[in-house]
Amino acid sequence: MNSKITPALQVRGLAKHFGGVRALDGVDFEVFAGQCVALIGPNGAGKSTCFACLAGQQVPTAGEVLWHGQSLLGKPPAERQRLGVARTFQVAQTFEALTVLQNIQLVLRDGPPLGWWDRLDQRQPERAWQLAVQAGLEAHVHATVAELPYGAKKRLELAMALAGLPQSVAVDGAPSAPSLLLLDEPAAGLALAERVDMMTLVRQVAGQGVTVLYTEHNMDAVFGVADRVLVLMQGHRVADGLPEAVAQDPQVRERYLGNDFDMKGLLDAQR
């Protein structure tokens, strides 16, 4: 299969109903390998539900999800992770009493399984360090999560998602296994400076060949960052395209961005 023409991720007719609530109501989209795509839309649009269907926390009511041509539906989250699909959550999921390094070591894949007799600290320390450094956490490796500033905690969560993937990024920076990282509001609650650091990290991960799909409410973390923008509203895809095209979409402006939204002004302010 030629990965240059075949999308890495294909989502077809994806639906998830919670009783009468149609969180997703037949959504189609595709993501190509190495793309960095922002999934935006108002609260309740179905973004988190979409991630849950892709990563396996929720079973869709209908539809299909193909990852490199293989159906992910029916596979538990751990199996999807083995196939290269990992996610973070809207609220950071870390172990407060453990250190940054130990959190990463706990979820590292590709090592020997952790037996009760093993010391967590001895588990692939170099690889764990490498991930911590990549996430800009070198100053915090031995701090417990409870001591971390919130921005560092969110970056740790991203490092943990990468740690759980099959060695997605080899030492020389070339991807060795296809991987999809789903980031649910990676910059939520972060001040502008921390948000810039986080989105720089997200871009860097995508630059290493990891396919990234992320949700976000801060438009400075969408425009100027994502290669493509997908807009979801009330369980429907209402726009999908290059950031500059989506920024001009009358329906998206009317219903979400606001008619005074100025992408160029936003990008200029970021410089």
Instruction: Answer yes or no whether residue 47 interacts with ligand ADP by CB under 6 A.
Output: yes
Instruction: Answer yes or no whether residue 43 interacts with ligand ADP by CB under 6 A.
Output: yes
Q: Are strands 70-71 and 62-67 parallel, antiparallel or unpaired?
A: antiparallel
Cβ-Cβ contacts under 8 Å for 238 (sequence gap 6 or more): 41, 231, 232, 249, 251, 252, 255
Least distance in Å: CB of 90 to Mg ion?
Answer: 5
- Look at residue 155 and give the partner it binds from Mg ion, ligand ADP, none, a contact being a CB closer than 5 to 8 Å depending on partner kind: none
Region 67-106 residues binding ligand ADP, contact defined as CB under 6 A: none
Least distance in Å: CB of 100 to Mg ion?
Answer: 26
Q: Which stretch binds ligand ADP (CB under 6 A): 17-25, 104-112, 116-124, 172-180?
A: 17-25
Instruction: Answer yes or no whether residue 168 interacts with Mg ion by CB under 5 A.
Output: no
Instruction: Answer yes or no whether residue 48 interacts with Mg ion by CB under 5 A.
Output: yes
Q: How far is CA 256 from CA 14, 180, 222, in A?
A: 22, 27, 14
Do residues 187 and 199 touch, judged by C-beta distance below 8 A? yes
- Indicate which single residue of 15, 27, 48, 99 sits in contact with ligand ADP (rule: CB under 6 A): 48
- Give residue number: closest CB to Mg ion: 48
- Look at residue 43 and give the partner it binds from ligand ADP, Mg ion, none, a contact being a CB closer than 5 to 8 Å depending on partner kind: ligand ADP
- The structure tokens listed for 40 are 């935006």
User: Which one, of 86, 9, 88, 39, lies nearest residue 222 by Cα?
Assistant: 39
Least distance in Å: CB of 75 to ligand ADP?
Answer: 20
H-run or E-run covering 149:
none
C-beta of 29 vs 100, nearer to ligand ADP? 29
Instruction: Answer yes or no whether residue 134 interacts with ligand ADP by CB under 6 A.
Output: no
Question: 3-state class of 250 per DSSP?
Answer: helix
Do residues 29 and 237 touch, judged by C-beta distance below 8 A? yes
Pairwise CA distance, residues 16 & 204, whole Å: 32
- Look at residue 239 and give the partner it binds from Mg ion, ligand ADP, none, a contact being a CB closer than 5 to 8 Å depending on partner kind: none
- The structure tokens listed for 154 are 């969110």
Instruction: Answer yes or no whether residue 229 interacts with ligand ADP by CB under 6 A.
Output: no
Instruction: Answer yes or no whether residue 211 interacts with Mg ion by CB under 5 A.
Output: no
- CA R_g for the chain: 18
Judged by the rule CB under 5 A, the positions of this chain that interact with Mg ion are 47-48, 90
